[in-house]
Structures are given as structure tokens and as C-alpha cells.
Amino acid sequence: MNEKLSFYDNEIEIFIKSRFDNVILARSILISFLSNLDLSVNVINELKTALSEAVTNAIVHGYDSDENKKVRILFAYTDAIIKMEVEDDGRGIEDIEKAKEPLYSSKLDEERAGLGFTIMEVFTDELNIESTIGVGTKITMTKRIFDEFSND
Amino acid sequence: MSLTVSLAIKKNRLLIRLKGELDQSNVEGLRNRINEVTKKYQIKYLVFNLENLQFMDSSGIGFIIGRYGEIRRIGGKVAICAMNETIYKIFKLSGLSRICLIAKNEDYADQLLGVAI
């Protein structure tokens, strides 16, 4: 336990098995984690949706829906920003630009909307995608929360 | 929180009331159930009431796009009512807001579909 102090006021890291019902669990943990912050319902809903897309992507695309893998999730906040990280050790994304195109999906035959990255982009302020074929994908999303005061 | 589905049929219109959370964990069960009913009762119009749907991600959008494709093939229409703000944003991103009828409540949806009694 000799790691350096985090820049964030609060931080939580969880590992979930790559099952779809654990996406619900991840959303619940996010809500509990953020409950000390005075956020509007809309901001919470947008963060929930962005998280849901990232974790679902990790399971569906990273792991081809294999339930026996692990997804790492990290939540952190300061009084100005919220950060969410979702990381898998899956197949990796071949063409990130293409994957980010609205309505593009590598699995359209499964009635997928191809909106995952679009939702993550629109519902947060910064989306960063690091991916290596055969190694995995790490999604980092940050949302500024000080805007809240000027808008509401 | 899980998903509760209640269905009502009026002539060739199917009303689908969703309550709770719709995501990848339950979308397949919902799809099978709706497809079964749509086929059995020769449904031409779908009305989704999302008033009590607290959460939906792009899994739900994929599901509605799929149903829209099937209903359009037989010349029917799809109406969505009572979306919360976040779900409506996702609708606009997906383009579904341009091809489905959007209504405040079930009565308006019926009027838009022209199937009011």
C-alpha cells in the first residue's frame, strides 16, 4: 500500500466478470459513488448511459460475449471533474476512427445500433480510446461538473 | 432494477409499456416476446410508452430500429411516447426521432397513428 496519493478526491476501482447483468451492477456502483456530489438527474443519467455503453462494448466486442473474462472499471472525482475508465484485455479495436463513426457497427446483424462511441462522446466532455489488437482496449471518459453551477 | 413489460392489444395496434431499465442483459427476452405477439396478432402499429423507463442505452435503440424495420415492411408505423430527457437525446442521435412518431402520451400516439377509437 505504498502507492502515491491520487490527484482525485475520491476513487474506486472494481473488477467485474464479463456478464451483462454486471453492467447493471457497474451502473449502481457509479450512482452510489457519485451520491455525495450534488449532480442533476440528467448528468447522472448521461454518465450512466456512457458507462453502460463502454462496459457493454468491452463484453460484446472485446470479449465476444465470453462471460469468463474480466473488465476493470475505475471511477474518480474532484470537485471539478468525474473520470470513468473501462478496460478489457480483449481483442482490441482494428480501426478506432471507423468504430467511432455514428451508426457503424461490426455486429449490425445482431440489431446493434452502432451508437456506443457516439453516446460516450456526446454524454461526456472528453473520450479517449487506447486500443491494441490482441492486447485490449482502455476507454477513459471525463466529464466537467463545474458547468452545473452556471447552467442550473 | 430489472425490466417490467406490460402489453395491451387494440385491433392491430400493440401498446408496450416498459418499466425499469432496458439494456443488453434483457433486450433479447423483450425482442422475442414482442416478435411473438406481433406475429400472432398481425400487429401493424407499435406504441412504446417509456414513461416509467428509467434507463435505456443503445441496446434499446438497436431493438427499436429492428422492430421499426419489420413494421415498416408491412406498411405500419411505430410511435414512442413519454421519453425522459436522456433517452430522447439518444433517440435524436440515432435518427429514430425522424422516422418514428414521437408523442407526449398514449392518447397522442393513437391520434398520430390514426387508430384512436
Residue A132 CB burial class (10 angstroms; 0-12, 13-18, ≥19): exposed
The 8-class DSSP code of residue A67 comes to T
Please name the member of B85, B86, B93 whose beta carbon is closest to the beta carbon of A102: B93
Query: Which B residues 58-97 touch A at CB under 8 Å?
Result: 58-59, 61-63, 65-66, 84-86, 89-90, 93-95
Angle CA(A24)–CA(A30)–CA(A35) in degrees, nearest 5? 130
**A2 among known catalytic residues:** no
CB contact under 8 A, A116 and B24: no
pLDDT tens digits along B36-69: 999 999 999 999 999 999 999 999 999 999 999 9
- The pLDDT tens digits along chain A (152 residues) read 656 677 899 999 999 999 999 999 999 999 999 999 999 999 999 999 999 999 999 999 999 999 999 999 999 999 999 999 999 999 999 989 888 888 778 776 677 778 999 999 999 999 999 999 999 999 999 999 975 455 54
A56 vs A115: CA distance, rounded Å: 12
Which pLDDT value is given to residue B1?
Answer: 66
- Smallest CA–CA distance, residue B42 to chain A, in Å, is 22
CB contact under 8 A, A45 and B55: yes
pTM for the model stands at 0.92
Say whether residue A116 is in contact with chain B using an 8 A CB cutoff.
yes
Which pLDDT value is given to residue A108?
Answer: 65
Find the closest chain B residue to A112 by CA distance: B62
Residue B115 has pLDDT above 50, yes or no: yes
CB neighbours of A3 closer than 8 A, spacing ≥ 6?
none
**A144 among known catalytic residues:** no
| Complex prediction ipTM | 0.91
Beta bridge partners of A17: A70
